[in-house]
């Protein structure tokens, strides 16, 4: 639904937007102040984008904690991860287009992250022959510096390539839900003791139970009893699902329109290639990454995200226990593991942050230390290793890969939330630590 809304608001915006370095910012002003309803449409577009990121993350958490990635749904979980990455890609390419200060420096940083494998190749001394970083950056920007070519490329990605991919993968995602969920297969539907599985929520629900996976359509997917109930109906599914989707869509639309009406999407000063903002912060969903990038460009921007996405994609292939499908947290033991892991992850992340803020990191103690050591040993990688070790320990200790998987995912979620919070609230000018924005120095 949000995706449809984004398409619906995106097309009118395309009519006025001019993807040119000289005119992009002016056309944003035009949309904002001259075009009839332009401001409203842009606001809704922005809010829907934020909403989509939120929903994708919540939906992912829901799907994970109810073990909706097992058995036949393995592949659909992978598709879901691809959609997650595409959503972030669309958001990123989207906020570059206004060509304001945020946009310009985001493009700069983004393309430099693409170039950051040089951190490794430089350390190995092979950049001259094998410059994958430089290749990626030039491919993205079509140039060596951020400029017109780069803007056009991101524009093409945002309005054409990524939405197309998104549409294709969404179609696959929804098709797999039906195919895997047994919604259309009477054999399965007959086998489901839906009412009892549904009523106590922890009965041994058969594997073939509908995944209750509603893709990106539900605004708060975990808490939409209407959807669950209608899915559990074995016979006349269609009108019920249709009604609940319609109701959710109306609700989503209403919320987005209200947000768009009352809250303006930000537009900063025109891009100034000579002076970045201070602090130069990304939108909230990338702030966790920005914090990681402030330890090491390559690890924070490429290495750790790659490990996390790959790791989460592989979870269904590592955790093959057919148990607990459709049960929140996999019963009481799972709940304990989840809580314990959340506590552990929070302690690890917070203590790493406190340590780093208080004492700095290797570069502050040994200014001449080779970069490759920092690339591999920085607060971000330490956290990843701690989480991996913890999950392995849980897997061994409980002798259940499902518990290990719960631990992995909980660690990811907790770290994401804390890092995002920390970077948005406690990072100020020069990326220094401040308790609140009111402590920032006046300049």
Partner 1 sequence: MSSDLQRSPRFETPPTRRDVLGLASIWSACVALGVAILGALRLPMPSVFPESNSRVKLGPLGQFVGVPVTAVPEHRLWVFADQAGLYAISAVCTHLGCIVARSEEGFHCPCHGSRFDAQGNVIGGPAPKPLAYLQLTVSPDGQLVVDKETEVSAETRLQV
- Give min distance, CB of 288 to partner 1, in A: 13
Indicate the Cα dihedral angle 90, 92, 96, 102, nearest 10°. Answer: 150
Do residues 156 and 25 touch, judged by C-beta distance below 8 A? no
Question: In this structure, what DSSP letter does residue 433 have?
Answer: B
Give yes or no for residue 280 binding partner 1 (CB under 8 A): yes
Does 71 bind partner 1 (CB under 8 A)? Our answer is no
Question: Minimal CA–CA distance to 154: which of 114, 121, 126?
Answer: 114
* Choices 51-59, 104-112, 177-185, 226-234; region in contact with partner 1 by CB under 8 A: 104-112
Which candidate, 77, 70, 57, places its Cα nearest to that of 402? 70
The answer to whether residue 275 forms part of the interface with partner 1 (CB under 8 A) is yes
Looking at beta carbons only, is 192 or 299 nearer to partner 1? Answer: 299
Binding residue for partner 1, selected from 70, 153, 176, 212, defined by CB under 8 A: 153
How is residue 431 annotated by DSSP?
Answer: G
Residue from 20, 32, 249, 294 touching partner 1 (CB under 8 A): that is 294
For residue 276, the SS3 value is coil
- 144 contacts partner 1 (rule: CB under 8 A): yes
Alpha-carbon gap, residue 262 to 272, rounded angstroms: 29
Q: Does 366 bind partner 1 (CB under 8 A)?
A: no
Q: Does 86 bind partner 1 (CB under 8 A)?
A: no
Extract the tokens encoding 153: 């490329």
Q: Considering the complex, what minimum distance in angstroms separates the CB of residue 420 from partner 1?
A: 16
| Residues 330, 23: Cα–Cα separation, whole Å | 54
Minimum CB distance to partner 1 smaller for 297 or for 313 = 297
Q: If binding is defined by CB under 8 A, does position 143 make contact with partner 1?
A: yes
Q: Is 112 in the site for partner 1 (CB under 8 A)?
A: yes
Contact flag: residue 266 with partner 1 (CB under 8 A): no
Q: 125, 225, 236, 367: which one contacts partner 1 (CB under 8 A)? A: 367
241 sits near partner 1 (criterion: CB under 8 A) = no
Verify binding: residue 432, partner 1, rule CB under 8 A: yes
Contacts 24+ apart (CB under 8 A), 335-342: 337/394, 337/398, 337/403, 337/406, 337/407, 338/65, 338/406, 338/407, 338/410, 341/390, 341/394, 341/406, 341/407, 341/410, 341/411, 341/414, 342/410, 342/414
Tell me how far, at minimum, the Cβ of 112 lies from partner 1, in Å.
Answer: 4
Q: Does 139 interact with partner 1 (rule: CB under 8 A)? A: yes
Classify residue 433 as exposed, middle or buried by CB count within 10 Å of its CB (0-12, 13-18, 19+): middle
Our CA angle for 371, 375, 376, nearest 5°, is 125
Near partner 1 by CB under 8 A: residue from 18, 138, 179, 229: 138
Is 105 a binding residue for partner 1 by CB under 8 A? The answer is yes
Count of residues that interact with partner 1, criterion CB under 8 A: 48
Of the pair 119, 319, the CB lying nearest partner 1 is at 119
Phi, psi at 433, each rounded to 5°: -85, 130
Residue 78: CB minimum distance to partner 1, A: 23
161 or 172: whose CB is closer to partner 1?
A: 161
Name the residue nearer to partner 1 (CB basis): 75 or 431. Answer: 431
Q: 199, 200, 430, 438: which one contacts partner 1 (CB under 8 A)? A: 430
Contact between residue 1 and residue 249 where contact means Cβ atoms under 8 Å apart: yes
Nearest-angstrom CA–CA distance, 53 and 84: 8
Q: Can you tell me the distance from the alpha carbon of 28 to that of 235, in angstroms, rounded to the nearest whole number? A: 51
Q: What angle do CA 316, 318, 323 make, to 5 degrees?
A: 65
Q: Which of 1, 38, 48, 119 binds partner 1 (CB under 8 A)?
A: 119
Residue 359 CB, shortest distance to partner 1, in Å, is 11
| Minimum CB distance to partner 1 smaller for 266 or for 360 | 360
Any contact of residue 142 with partner 1 (CB under 8 A)?
yes
Q: Interface residues with partner 1 (CB under 8 A)?
A: 105, 108-109, 111-113, 116, 119, 122, 135, 138-139, 142-145, 147-149, 153, 273-280, 290, 293-297, 300-301, 360, 363-364, 367, 371, 374-375, 378, 429-432
């Amino acid at each position: 639904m949000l995706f449809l809304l984004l398409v619906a608001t995106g097309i009118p915006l395309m009519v006025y937007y001019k993807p040119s370095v000289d005119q992009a910012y002016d056309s944003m002003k035009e949309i904002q102040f001259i075009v009839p309803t332009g401001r409203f449409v842009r606001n809704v577009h922005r809010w829907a984008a934020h909403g989509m990121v939120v929903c994708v993350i919540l939906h992912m958490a829901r799907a994970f904690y109810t073990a909706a990635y097992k058995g036949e749904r393995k592949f659909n979980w992978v598709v879901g991860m691809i959609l997650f990455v595409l959503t972030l890609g669309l958001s990123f390419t989207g906020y570059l287009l206004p060509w304001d200060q945020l946009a310009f420096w985001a493009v700069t940083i983004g393309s430099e992250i693409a170039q950051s494998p040089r951190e490794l190749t430089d350390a190995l001394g092979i950049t001259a022959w094998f410059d994958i970083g430089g290749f990626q950056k030039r491919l993205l920007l079509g140039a060596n510096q951020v400029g017109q070519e780069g803007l056009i490329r991101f524009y093409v990605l945002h309005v054409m390539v990524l939405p197309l991919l998104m549409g294709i993968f969404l179609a696959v995602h929804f098709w797999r839900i039906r195919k895997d969920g047994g919604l259309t297969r009477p054999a399965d539907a007959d086998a489901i003791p839906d009412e009892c599985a549904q009523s106590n929520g922890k009965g041994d629900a058969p594997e073939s139970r509908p995944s209750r996976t509603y893709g990106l359509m539900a605004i708060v997917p975990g808490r939409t009893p209407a959807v669950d109930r209608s899915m559990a109906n074995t016979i006349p599914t269609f009108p019920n699902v249709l009604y609940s989707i319609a109701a959710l869509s109306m609700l989503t639309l209403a919320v987005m329109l209200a947000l768009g009406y009352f809250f303006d999407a930000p537009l900063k000063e025109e891009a100034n290639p000579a002076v970045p903002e201070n602090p130069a912060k990304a939108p909230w969903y990338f702030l966790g990454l920005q914090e990681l990038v402030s330890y090491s460009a390559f690890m924070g921007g490429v290495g750790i995200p790659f490990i996390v996405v790959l790791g989460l994609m592989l979870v269904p292939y590592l955790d093959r226990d057919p148990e607990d499908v459709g049960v929140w947290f996999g019963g009481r033991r799972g709940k304990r593991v989840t809580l314990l892991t959340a506590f552990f992850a929070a302690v690890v992340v917070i203590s790493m942050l406190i340590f780093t803020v208080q004492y700095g990191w290797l570069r502050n103690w040994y200014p001449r230390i080779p970069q490759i050591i920092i690339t591999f040993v920085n607060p971000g990688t330490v956290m990843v290793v701690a989480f991996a070790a913890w999950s392995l320990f849980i897997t061994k200790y409980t002798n259940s890969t499902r518990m290990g998987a719960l631990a992995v995912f909980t660690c990811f979620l907790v770290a994401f939330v804390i890092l995002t919070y920390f970077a948005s609230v406690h990072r100020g000018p020069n990326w220094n630590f401040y308790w609140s924005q009111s402590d920032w120095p006046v300049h």
